[in-house]
Structure 1
Amino acid sequence: MTNVLPTYPRSNLEFTHGVGSYLYTKSGEKFLDFGTGIAVNSLGYSNPYLNDKLKEQIDKLWHLSNVYQIPEQEKLAQRLCDNSFADYVFFCNSGTEAIEASIKIARRYFHSSENFSHKTEILSFSGSFHGRTIGALAAGGPDKLSSFNTTVNDFKFLEFGDHEQLQNSISEKTAAVIIEPIQGEGGIREVPRQCLEGLRKICDENNCLLIFDEVQCGMGRTGKLFAHEWSEVNPDIMTIAKAIGNGFPLGACLTSKKVGEKMDFGSHGSTFGGNPLACTVGNAVLDIMLKDKFFTEINVVAKKLYEGLQNVITDFPSVIENIRGRGFILGLKCKVENDKFVNLAREKYILTVKASDNVVRLLPPINLTLNECDEAIDKIRATCSELK
């Protein structure tokens, strides 16, 4: 019997260490990881540069209260703002904390604005996943709250892609619309550029804020630093986590100046958010991702992976219907049960992740090599061959 709360459907795999794109078991089995802790270890395991930077900071300071100046935090905030739409950053420890911050910040913005304190409603979409705290669950839809005997007011849930419903649902109460530029848990469903443009226009016309949840699809996973950059549509608020810490707990909520300046002393906080260790790792991640030609180089591999998978789909149409996503956040829409695909792929020593809509997610390290790309395609082809 385990004393760990049974909130995860764990497999029997137990890993002792990881190097690059691979995880290793005690018995020496080697797995190519196309799950990366669900889009977390985007620069691979035991990354030497990240490890060295963290070890340096460990000998200096682990934790400081946010009532003091934290240079590593200031540096990371400035770099995130310099490379995005944002002017302010709130640091936390996870994606769901970043979402909670975004909800509070959006409502605070209108509460602090004369004649607009009635704007409290948040609109979200089917297939979305924004976290597991009560507020974040509410943004994911009422069905996610049903087993906790609670309701949260001022959330309205819309069908993904239903533009008419969106138009009819915006009201004088609407404070914000929250959306993932690419849905992760929902089955790797990318929001088309024209839809994000239309959403921005609707928000502007109705004086409400646009929130992008890039916890899973952001931080380089699409081949740009942030997924929304492909659309050239900027939000008012954005949440990030997962890959910004490459496995070290770190999240952030980024805001524009007009939104962020409504927050003041005591309006939000975090004991551990923005600590020196986490921000040191975050800065090291950016050191790598902001290098010249980094995204040019990884997009070459991403293109090869996509084309290779397309060939597999062509050869096994009875197994996979299509491929979704971009960069290194891809989804295989299966005709067989995605459970069977994931389990058989594991027998081929490649780790993948299930998603809704009978999709298998492929979330490899974004610094995947060409040889590892070939290996992955071969393993997925072998999986399909047995499932046909």
Structure 2
Amino acid sequence: MFEKMDKDFVLHTYARNYVNFKQGINATLYDDKGKDYIDFTSGIGVVSVGHGNARVADAICEQVKNITHISNLYLIEPQAKLAKKIVTLSGFDMAVFFGNSGAEANEGAIKIAREYGEKMFKNKKYKIITLENSFHGRTITTVKATGQTSFHKPYFSPYPEGFSFNENIQKIYDVIDDETVAVMIELVQGEGGVQPFDKKEIQKLAAFLKEKGLLLIVDEVQTGIYRSGEFLATNLYEIEPDIITLAKGLAGGVPIGAVMTKHKDIFEPGDHGSTFGGNYLSTRAGLEVLEILEGYKNSGKLDEMLMYFEKNLSEIAQKYPNLFVDSVGLGLMRGLRCHSAEILSHAIQSAFDEGLLVLKAGKNTLRLLPPITISKEEVDEGFKRMIRAFDKLS
């Protein structure tokens, strides 16, 4: 019934798998037939503290009983608290603007960069350089900033000007010109294949841009909120960007996005805004998520889980050399590089048949983004199911 309803009334922008989930407990999901699944996707990196988290649910319920939304025309106490929490955990002297998604966060970053380029230079600078295989969102502007040509559909054109993407970081230096204002990168390309960049290479780029007075924008929509093992992948890479964007795991499933910058006075009232962004509901949820994950990190349990998950994944890559080239990624943002797109497709379906949810990234990478709070028991069960699935392919 619901499959037909979906097909009749929902725009077909996703190639859906028509399983109907009814309940979730941490990294375990249950469908309407009672079948359980181990979730190595967390809603594409969103459900950072697991499904059905009681603390987040209680915080949301308490907030909704009082105020859900009033608009940004008034002080929003949990918004101020969440902004302070993010800044404190980042270790940077920055200020935060809240939106509703990663794409909105990146739109905000682009607007900050454009306004910086207008105000801080004699001649306007507006161009932003990105990388091939990057992904920055699905709005018209962030699609153009995305360095995967498959997203640049001709029927969405004309696209905004001022964006270019390059094959690798070394090529960035060659294309910076008098109109370039910023470079936007992901430290680990998520949609582009779970590909981390070399730390020294990133540090060299950051130092070069700082010397030239140009901005470094780091898209942490997927890598942020402890996904890398640290609060920000930026902390792991030991750099200080001008602008950082966040979303996905920040509120445990409630829509939210955030752009933070050390250029606190670039925006003036009226330059940017959002009706829903940073409302009571999303920021109260975000506060609870960060409290949970900060405690989890400080206890040492997160670091233990990172090592445990990586060990299991490396063993899988070694066990099936006919299917996979290697294991890739960092933290709990992991992948298996497949020998072909065909193997990837079969691997995802076979895992699903065994009750394990995994994702696609790029052309040939099986992506794994489990809840950060996943238990060892759920990891063990997930990899048991993975072995059964891959045995069938072998």
TM tier, shorter chain? over 0.9
Per-residue CA deviation, residues 91-122 of structure 1 (Å, 9 max, x unaligned), is: 00000000000000111112122514x21000
Q: What does residue 212 of structure 1 align with?
A: 218
Aligned pairs (5 A) from 1:300-315: 300-315=304-319
Say whether the 8 Å CA contact 2:115–2:266 is kept in structure 1.
yes
* 1:260 match: secondary structure: coil
Per-residue CA deviation, residues 36-74 of structure 1 (Å, 9 max, x unaligned), is: 110000110110000000110011101012111111111
Q: Is the aligned partner of 1:278 residue 2:278?
A: no
Q: What does residue 104 of structure 1 align with?
A: 111
- In the TM superposition, residue 186 of structure 1 has moved relative to its aligned partner by 0.3
- In the TM superposition, residue 142 of structure 1 has moved relative to its aligned partner by 7.3
- In the TM superposition, residue 322 of structure 1 has moved relative to its aligned partner by 0.4
* Candidates 271, 281, 296, aligned match of 1:267: 271
> Number of paired residues?
383
**For residues 23 and 327 of structure 1, what CA distance do their matches in structure 2 show?**
23
**For residues 333 and 273 of structure 1, what CA distance do their matches in structure 2 show?**
37
* Candidates 336, 346, 363, aligned match of 1:332: 336
* Candidates 354, 371, 377, aligned match of 1:365: 371
Q: Is the aligned partner of 1:150 residue 2:161?
A: no
**For residues 380 and 57 of structure 2, what CA distance do their matches in structure 1 show?**
28
- In the TM superposition, residue 244 of structure 1 has moved relative to its aligned partner by 0.2
**For residues 299 and 16 of structure 2, what CA distance do their matches in structure 1 show?**
34
**For residues 292 and 321 of structure 1, what CA distance do their matches in structure 2 show?**
33
- In the TM superposition, residue 159 of structure 1 has moved relative to its aligned partner by 0.8
Per-residue CA deviation, residues 156-195 of structure 1 (Å, 9 max, x unaligned), is: 111134x0x2111111211110000111100000011011
* Candidates 114, 120, 128, aligned match of 1:113: 120
* Candidates 293, 298, 302, aligned match of 1:289: 293
- In the TM superposition, residue 234 of structure 1 has moved relative to its aligned partner by 1.5
Farther off after superposition, 230-239 or 368-377: 368-377
Q: What does residue 191 of structure 2 align with?
A: 185
* Candidates 51, 65, 72, aligned match of 1:59: 65
Say whether the 8 Å CA contact 2:325–2:338 is kept in structure 1.
yes
Q: TM-score, normalised by structure 2?
A: 0.94
* Candidates 346, 354, 360, aligned match of 1:354: 360
Gaps of 5+ in 2: 1-6
Per-residue CA deviation, residues 112-133 of structure 1 (Å, 9 max, x unaligned), is: 22514x2100000011110000
* Candidates 190, 201, 205, aligned match of 1:199: 205
**For residues 133 and 332 of structure 1, what CA distance do their matches in structure 2 show?**
29
Residue identity opposite 1:311 in structure 2? E
Residue identity opposite 1:300 in structure 2? E
- In the TM superposition, residue 296 of structure 1 has moved relative to its aligned partner by 2.1
Residue identity opposite 1:289 in structure 2? L
**For residues 73 and 328 of structure 2, what CA distance do their matches in structure 1 show?**
45
**For residues 359 and 289 of structure 2, what CA distance do their matches in structure 1 show?**
24
Say whether the 8 Å CA contact 2:194–2:328 is kept in structure 1.
yes
Per-residue CA deviation, residues 254-294 of structure 1 (Å, 9 max, x unaligned), is: 101xx221111100000000100110001001111222644
Residue identity opposite 1:308 in structure 2? N
* Candidates 253, 271, 284, aligned match of 1:247: 253
Per-residue CA deviation, residues 339-365 of structure 1 (Å, 9 max, x unaligned), is: 110000001100000011300001101
**For residues 139 and 245 of structure 2, what CA distance do their matches in structure 1 show?**
15
Q: What does residue 24 of structure 1 align with?
A: 30
- In the TM superposition, residue 28 of structure 1 has moved relative to its aligned partner by 0.2
RMSD: 1.3
**For residues 250 and 295 of structure 1, what CA distance do their matches in structure 2 show?**
27
Q: Is the aligned partner of 1:160 residue 2:164?
A: no
- In the TM superposition, residue 317 of structure 1 has moved relative to its aligned partner by 0.5
Per-residue CA deviation, residues 215-264 of structure 1 (Å, 9 max, x unaligned), is: 011111111111121111111100000100111011100101xx221111
Say whether the 8 Å CA contact 1:127–1:160 is kept in structure 2.
no
**For residues 320 and 161 of structure 2, what CA distance do their matches in structure 1 show?**
47
- In the TM superposition, residue 295 of structure 1 has moved relative to its aligned partner by 6.5
Farther off after superposition, 202-211 or 40-49: 202-211
* 2:366 match: secondary structure: strand
* 2:59 match: secondary structure: helix
Say whether the 8 Å CA contact 1:18–1:45 is kept in structure 2.
yes
* 1:290 match: secondary structure: helix
**For residues 244 and 47 of structure 1, what CA distance do their matches in structure 2 show?**
14
Say whether the 8 Å CA contact 1:122–1:175 is kept in structure 2.
yes
**For residues 71 and 14 of structure 2, what CA distance do their matches in structure 1 show?**
32
Per-residue CA deviation, residues 79-101 of structure 1 (Å, 9 max, x unaligned), is: 11112124210000000000000
**For residues 288 and 140 of structure 1, what CA distance do their matches in structure 2 show?**
32
Say whether the 8 Å CA contact 1:177–1:211 is kept in structure 2.
yes
